[in-house]
Amino acid sequence: MYVYYLALKYLLSRPINLLSILGVTLAVWALIVIVSIFSGFIVKMEKHIQGTTSDLSFIHIGSSPRSDLTLFQKLLEADPEVQAFAPRLVWHGMLDHAGKNELDLRRLQRGPERDFVQVIGIDPKQEQKVSRLRAWLAAVEDASLRPVNPAKPFETGSDDEIPGALLGLARARDLGLPRGSSLTLVSGHQVRNEDVTRIQKRFRLSGCWSSGFYHFDENTMLVPLSVMRDIFGEGRPAWQQAQLFNEIAIQLVEGADLNQAKKRLQESFDKLSQKKFIWGGIFWTWRDRNRNFLQNVEHQKFLMRLMLFVLVIVVGFLIFATLSMMVVEKIRDIGILSALGGTRTGVLVIFAFSGLAIAIIGSSLGVLSAVWTCAHLNDFNVWLKDSFDIHLFRTSVYGLKEVPHQIEWLWVGIVCTVTLGLSSLSAIIPGFRAARMDPVKALRHEI
């Protein structure tokens, strides 16, 4: 039993060993906390993205909007899992507004996208069935930026003919626009092979929304579907105009399998399009639509894990170096232990156990401190910001109220296993070297 006793004595009486423990603690802490933040962030973002994207979307392939909405109404109403759907007319353009030409640093910082905007023509009544528009509107804390009438969010309250438009809170704040501001959408569209027709339409900011997904909020403007139909339907018969759309947001019943529904709808649509010779289009789940963004974050998380594991390897080297040094320093002790009746295995165990103890103590402290840190992450972030103006995690950038985090216990297990495995390995090598040492040589060793 002397081996454990001695190993602990060695461990505790050498400050360098405490340093190794600290190293393990730090590595494990970082691995858990940082990955937890990433996981939490991904989960939050997925939720927000899911909130801004309907379960399924039909996306029209073709440059100008299509006018066969009735066909889709039949198709969707026939599907057992479709709960609601809302046609949309989605376009892109540049946003012009009063005071835009003043030097505005914040606007400049937005880079080349600063004037770009995605315009979605929606019918609020239908839209509320497929998205959480009402909740987003309510999420705007500043009452002066909330629409006057949430049920009819495009109402501007003024008598003029200018239609209302909603902007994401982030965008409106960036631009410093109050409710009632005049906005001009500039764009263009091509009808068949004619020249590009210029679109220039004035809107009045009727309010803002906040969905939580900063990317969506920053780059999107919601306008009445009817206005978009007027723009794109110029010169078409009224019945056609009333059917224009290029996207359909689809809400499925609770518990429906997204991918199966997508496949089923796509198949029915393909059959129909072959028969009737109509424009093509695809059904996408919300995940398909945001694949790039989600994969990006996942990829960053992967890279971060990889980088952090390098830290564990460095800590392994640290343990290896510390214990190798200890073996050299303790050469004489190895001789004495033999003289007192110690065995080679005993000597091996002393050093291996020291290493293992470093790893176990370090990992436990690491896990504990990581869990504690995660629990107090937000306070810590706020404290850092308030006391030192250091922004560890800019919650506002992502439209989050708190620093997101989610401890993945499987990951914690992996981290501990790898750390313990690597540390044991780095401990056993010097241990074997110590055990192989000739006790007589060890005794003859001059200090």
Partner 1 sequence: MTEILRAQGIEKSYRIGKQDIRVLRGIDMSVMEGEIVALCGSSGAGKSTLLHVLGLLDPPSGGKVWYRDVCATDISPARQTRLRHDLVGFVFQFYHLIAELSALENVMLGEMMLRSLPDYMRHRKQIKARAVDLLASIGLGDRLKNRPSQLSGGERQRVAIARALVSDPQVILADEPTGNLDSQTAEEILELIWKINEEQNIAFLIVTHDQNVASRTDRIIRLKDGLVLGHSQLEAEEIPL
Contacting residues toward partner 1, per CB under 8 A: 1-2, 4-6, 9-10, 13-14, 332-333, 335-343, 346, 438-440, 443-444
Q: Which two tokens stand for residue 137?
A: 């509107």
| For partner 1, the closer CB: 14 or 173 | 14
Q: What region, left, alpha or beta, does residue 156 occupy, with left being phi > 0 and alpha being psi -120 to 50 degrees? A: alpha
Q: How far is the CB of 358 from partner 1 (least distance, A)?
A: 16
Q: Which two tokens stand for residue 223?
A: 């306008």
Q: How far is the CB of 315 from partner 1 (least distance, A)?
A: 24
Place of tokens 């909020």: 217
| For partner 1, the closer CB: 233 or 430 | 430
Q: How far is the CB of 295 from partner 1 (least distance, A)?
A: 53
Residues 147 and 157: their CA atoms lie apart, in Å, by 10
Q: Which two tokens stand for residue 140?
A: 């705007």
Residue 127 and residue 248 in contact, taking contact as beta carbons nearer than 8 Å: no
Q: How far is the CB of 444 from partner 1 (least distance, A)?
A: 7
Q: How far is the CB of 316 from partner 1 (least distance, A)?
A: 25
| For partner 1, the closer CB: 1 or 306 | 1
Q: How far is the CB of 419 from partner 1 (least distance, A)?
A: 26
Closest residue by Cα to residue 92 from 247, 242, 213: 247
| For partner 1, the closer CB: 14 or 129 | 14
| For partner 1, the closer CB: 355 or 399 | 355
Strands of 239-360, DSSP E:
247-252, 281-285
| For partner 1, the closer CB: 106 or 444 | 444
Q: How far is the CB of 394 from partner 1 (least distance, A)?
A: 49
Q: How far is the CB of 372 from partner 1 (least distance, A)?
A: 32
Which residue type sits at 69? L
Q: Residue 240 class from Cβ within 10 Å (0-12 exposed, 13-18 middle, 19+ buried)? A: middle
Q: Which two tokens stand for residue 70?
A: 């009735």
Q: What region, left, alpha or beta, does residue 195 occupy, with left being phi > 0 and alpha being psi -120 to 50 degrees? A: beta
SS3 state of residue 159 = coil
| For partner 1, the closer CB: 160 or 446 | 446
Which residue type sits at 228? M
SS3 state of residue 165 = strand
Residue 290 and residue 49 in contact, taking contact as beta carbons nearer than 8 Å: yes
Q: Which two tokens stand for residue 97?
A: 């507004």
| For partner 1, the closer CB: 2 or 380 | 2
Helix (H) or strand (E) holding 207: strand 196-209
Neighbours of 250 (CB within 10 A): 25
Q: How far is the CB of 4 from partner 1 (least distance, A)?
A: 7
| Span between the terminal Cα atoms of the chain, in Å | 27
| For partner 1, the closer CB: 13 or 101 | 13
